[in-house]
A and B are shown apart, each in its own frame.
Chain A
Amino acid sequence: KQEVTQIPAALSVPEGENLVLNCSFTDSAIYNLQWFRQDPGKGLTSLLLIQSSQREQTSGRLNASLDKSSGRSTLYIAASQPGDSATYLCAVPDSNYQLIWGAGTKLIIKP
């Protein structure tokens, strides 16, 4: 059964730093992996979807990488800003197409 883990649960960094969020999954036979952002009390915003055949996907200051063999994905945020403060979740679909979620990393960017 697929399990998705995100470590750390919370991260606080000064503004301007580059940072990496981690997502691990136990079954490497994934089709894709999706990264989301969620502001407190709000819905989820899809940030990046990376297909299993891809190694990287980029959108602006965000770069997601995928290493299926090691069961890991990272979300790299360059030149962090206070507006990046949010909870970041990763999810992979199971064989029934249902998303299996990590518990999220709460990111705080200090001005």
Chain B
Amino acid sequence: DTEVTQTPKHLVMGMTNKKSLKCEQHMGHRAMYWYKQKAKKPPELMFVYSYEKLSINESVPSRFSPECPNSSLLNLHLHALQPEDSALYLCASSLGTGFYEQYFGPGTRLTVT
């Protein structure tokens, strides 16, 4: 099973809302990633978790707060977002943070109004 699942598929939120994105994998991978992708652009790395510890934070604003409750789950908590944060948010996982193949989920399409 090489599947990464993400919920919800679509999310519309106001600038004062708090919401969370969820990502799950059951491949035994120990590295998990959050990416942000704007239309017609490649993904931009936001966060990397390795063995449930945050290892990379690409200077992402604090209105995005990642959480890794266990080795299979990755959350992205959203608060006080701006309209420019509207994008496709992708989760990925890999065996580790070395030179391993990354597997991506279907993404959450986020619209901030």
The answer, yes or no, to whether B64 is at the interface (CB within 8 Å) is: no
Are the C-beta atoms of B99 and A99 separated by less than 8 Å?
Answer: no
Q: Which residues of chain A are near B98, meaning CB under 8 Å?
A: 97
Q: Report the interface size for chain A: residues with CB under 8 A from the other chain.
A: 22
Bitwise interface map of A from 15 to 40 toward B, beta carbon under 8 Å scored 1, else 0 = 00000000000000001101010000
Bitwise interface map of A from 38 to 56 toward B, beta carbon under 8 Å scored 1, else 0 = 0001111110010000000
Are the C-beta atoms of B102 and A34 separated by less than 8 Å?
Answer: yes
Query: Smallest CB–CB gap between A80 and chain B, Å?
Result: 22
Task: Tell me, in angstroms, the Cα distance from A99 to B26 when the chains sit together.
Answer: 22
With A46-B103, A97-B98, A103-B42 as known contacts, state yes or no: A41 contacts B109, CB within 8 Å: yes
- Segment 80-113 of B: residues with Cβ below 8 Å from A: 88, 90, 92, 97-99, 101-107, 109
Are the C-beta atoms of B45 and A98 separated by less than 8 Å?
Answer: yes
Q: Which residue of B lies closest to A100 (CB)?
A: B42
Q: Which residues of chain A are near B92, meaning CB under 8 Å?
A: 44
Task: Tell me, in angstroms, the Cα distance from A44 to B109 when the chains sit together.
Answer: 14
Task: Tell me, in angstroms, the Cα distance from A32 to B103 when the chains sit together.
Answer: 15
Task: Tell me, in angstroms, the Cα distance from A32 to B94 when the chains sit together.
Answer: 14
- Segment 20-50 of B: residues with Cβ below 8 Å from A: 41-43, 45, 48
Q: Which residues of chain B are near A44, meaning CB under 8 Å?
A: 43, 90, 92, 104
Are the C-beta atoms of B90 and A43 separated by less than 8 Å?
Answer: yes
Q: Which residue of B lies closest to A4 (CB)?
A: B42
A-B contact pairs, 26 of them (CB 8 A): A32-B99, A34-B101, A34-B102, A41-B88, A41-B107, A41-B109, A42-B106, A43-B4, A43-B90, A43-B107, A44-B92, A44-B104, A45-B104, A46-B101, A46-B102, A46-B104, A49-B101, A96-B56, A97-B98, A98-B45, A98-B48, A98-B56, A101-B42, A102-B42, A103-B41, A104-B42
